[in-house]
Structure 1
Amino acid sequence: MKIIEPLLYSNLRLFSPIFVIFLIALFVYHWRRRWLYYYSSKIPGPFPVPLVGNINLVTGGAFEIHKFLRNLFTDYPNIVKTWVGPYLYVSTTEPEYIKLILTRFLDKGNYYHLMTGYFRRSLAAAPLELWKQNRKNINPTFNISLINSFVDTFAKHAKLFTENFDDVCGKEAVDVFPSIWKCTLDAGCETLADVNPSLINTQQYVAGIFRIEEILLRRFFHPLLHFDIFWSLSPLKKEVNTLWKQNCSCIQKMIDLMESKSTQDDNENASTKKRFLTHMMNLDRNQEIPHDYVLEESQIMYFVGTEISAAVLSSTLLVLGMYPDIQTKIDEELNAIFGDSDRDPTLEDVHQMQYLDRVLKETMRLIPPLPFVMRSIDENVHLGKYVLPTGTKVIIPIAMVHRRPDFWPDPAKFDPDRFLPDEVEKRPVCSYIPFSYGARNCIAYKYGLLSMKIILSTFLRSYKVTSSNYKSIEDMDFLIQVVARPKNGYKITVEKRERRSNC
Structure 2
Amino acid sequence: MAVACGDVSVAAVDDETSAKRSADEEAERLEAHRAHIARISRIWLQCKDVIDSLMTCNYILLLDHDIYALFITEITNFARQLFERAQYYISRGDGMFRIWIGTSPLVLLIRPENAKIVLESNSILRKGPEYEILLPWLGTGLLISSGEKWRFRRKMLTPAFHSTVLDEFISVHNKEAQILIQRLQPNADKGRSFDIFPFIKRCALDIICETAMGVKVDAQSNPDHPYVRSVQRMTELAFTHQRMPWFWLKPLWYASGYGVEYDMHLQSLLHFTRKVIEERRREYANDLTRKTKRNKKAFLDVLLSMQEANKLSYDDIREEVDTFMFEGHDTTSSAIGWTLWCLAHHPEVQKKACDEADSIFGDSLRPCTSDDLKQLKYLERAIKESLRLFPPVPSFTRVADNDIIIGAYLLRKNALMLIVGFTFHFDGKIIPKGCTLLISPAIIHRNEMVYKDAHVYDPDNFLLERVMGRRPFAYIPFSAGPRNCIGQKFALMEEKTILSWILRYFRIEADCSFESNAACPEIILKPSNGFNLLLYNRSLNN
Give the TM-score band, short-chain normalised.
0.7 to 0.9
Indicate whether 1:392 and 2:409 are aligned. no
Map Cα deviations across residues 151-190 of structure 1 (whole Å, 9 max, x no partner): 2222222222213322111123222122222222222233
- In the superposition, the TM-score normalised over structure 2's length comes to 0.77
Q: Which residue of 2 aligns with 1:66?
A: 79
Distance 1:65 1:115, change over 3 A: farther
More deviation in 413-422 or 207-216?
Answer: 207-216
C-alpha distance 141-41 of structure 1, shift in aligned 2 (>3 A): farther
Equivalent residue number for residue 30 of structure 2: none
Distance 2:115 2:241 in 1: 26
1:106–1:376 Cα contact (<8 Å) kept:
yes
5+ residue gaps in structure 2?
A: 1-57, 411-430
Match status 1:488 vs 2:488: no
Counterpart among 168, 173, 184 of residue 187 in structure 2: 168
* Residue in 1 that maps onto 2:303: 280
Residue aligned with 1:99, SS: helix
Is 1:84–1:221's contact at 8 Å kept on the other side of the alignment?
Answer: no
Partner of 1:14: none
Mapped to 1, the partners of 2:441 and 2:101 lie a distance apart of 20
Alpha-carbon distance in 2 for matches of 1:41, 1:459: 54
In structure 2, the CA distance between the partners of 1:106 and 1:481, relative to structure 1 (3 Å rule), is same
Distance 2:147 2:76 in 1: 31
Could you list the per-position Cα deviations for residues 455-499 of structure 1 after superposition, in whole angstroms to 9, with x for gaps in the alignment? 11122111111x225411x32223322211001111211111123
Does 2:145 correspond to 1:126?
yes
2:539 alignment counterpart: 498
Aligned to 2:513: 471
Distance 1:128 1:64, change over 3 A: farther
Distance in 1 of aligned mates of 2:517 and 2:535? 20
- Paired position in structure 1 for 2:242: 220
How far apart, CA to CA, are the structure 2 residues paired with 1:40 and 1:267?
72
Q: Which moved more, 1:256-265 or 1:424-433?
A: 256-265
Deviation of 1:285 after TM superposition, in Å, equals 6.9
Match for 2:114: what amino acid?
A: Y
**Offset, 1:290:** 3.3
Q: Which moved more, 1:103-112 or 1:204-213?
A: 204-213
SS at match of 1:417: helix
Whole-angstrom CA distance in 2 between matches of 1:42 and 1:288: 50
User: Separation in 2 of the partners of 1:208 and 1:408?
Assistant: 40
> Within 5 A, what are the aligned runs for 1:293-332?
293-332=316-355
Q: Which amino acid aligns with 1:364?
A: L
Structure-to-structure mapping, 1:350-429, within 5 angstroms: 350-387=373-410, 388-429=431-472
Instruction: Return the alpha-carbon distance in structure 1 between the equivalents of residues 239 and 185 of structure 2.
Output: 38
Q: 1:94-114 CA deviation, whole Å, 9 max, x = no partner?
A: 111101011221111222234
**RMSD of the TM alignment (CA)?**
2.8
CA distance in 2, matches of 1:319, 1:396: 24
Taking structure 1 as reference, are residues 91 and 195 closer, same or farther at Cα in structure 2, changes over 3 Å only? same
The letter for the 1-side match of 2:152 is Q
- 2:96 counterpart of 1:55: no
Render the CA deviation track for 1:77-108: whole Å, top value 9, x for unaligned. 34210123443200122111101011221111
The one-letter amino acid of 2:268's match is Q
* 8 Å contact kept, 1:205–1:250: yes
Partners of 1:197 and 1:215 lie apart in 2 by 22
Equivalent position of 2:215 in the other structure: 195
State the shift of 1:206 in Å. 3.5
Distance 2:345 2:436 in 1: 38
Which segment drifts farther, 249-258 or 367-376?
A: 249-258
Match of 1:44 among 46, 56, 65: 65
Shift of 1:195: 2.7
Query: Once structures 1 and 2 are overlaid, which stretch shifts more, 123-132 or 194-203?
Result: 194-203
For 1:130, give the aligned amino acid.
K
Structure 1 counterpart of 2:65, one-letter code: P
- Could you list the runs of 5+ residues in structure 1 that have no partner in the other structure? 1-36, 49-53
TM-score by length of 1: 0.82
> Judging changes above 3 Å, is the alpha-carbon distance between structure 1 residues 410 and 428 closer, same or farther for their aligned structure 2 residues?
same
- Matched residue count: 454
Q: Which moved more, 1:403-412 or 1:78-87?
A: 78-87
1:246 equivalent in structure 2 = 268
Show CA shifts across 1:2-47 (max 9, x none). Answer: xxxxxxxxxxxxxxxxxxxxxxxxxxxxxxxxxxx9999456123x
Q: How far 1:233 sits from its partner (Å)?
A: 6.0
User: Are the equivalent residues in 1 in contact too, given 2:212–2:321 (CA < 8 A)?
Assistant: no
Q: Matched residues in 2 for 1:103 and 1:251: separation?
A: 34
Matched residue, 2:293: 269
**1:97 paired residue number:** 114
Identical aligned residues as a percent: 27
Offset at residue 312 of structure 1 (A): 0.9
CA distance in 2 between partners of 1:290 and 1:233 (Å): 35
Distance 1:138 1:206 in 2: 26
- Contact kept in structure 1, 2:400 and 2:432, CA below 8 Å: yes
Match of 2:226 among 193, 204, 211: 204
CA distance in 1, matches of 2:181, 2:240: 36
1:344 maps onto 2:402 in alignment:
no
Structure 1 residue 293: Cα displacement = 3.8
What displacement does 1:149 show? 2.2
Is the Cα contact below 8 Å between 1:81 and 1:91 reproduced in 2? yes
Amino acid at match of 1:468: A
Measured after TM superposition, the shift of residue 424 of structure 1 is 0.4
* Residues 167 and 253 of structure 1, relative CA distance in 2, 3 Å threshold: farther
Measured after TM superposition, the shift of residue 436 of structure 1 is 0.4
Rounded Cα–Cα distance in structure 2 between residues aligned with 1:330 and 1:254: 39
Which amino acid is 2:510 matched to?
A: S
Q: SS at 2:439's partner residue?
A: strand
Does 2:205 match 1:185? yes
Deviations 1:380-433 (A, max 9, x none): 222222122222111111111110111111111110000000000111111110
Q: Deviations over 1:249-300 (max 9, x none)?
A: 3323433443454466434426645x31123345557792333343333223
Moved more, 83-92 or 189-198: 189-198
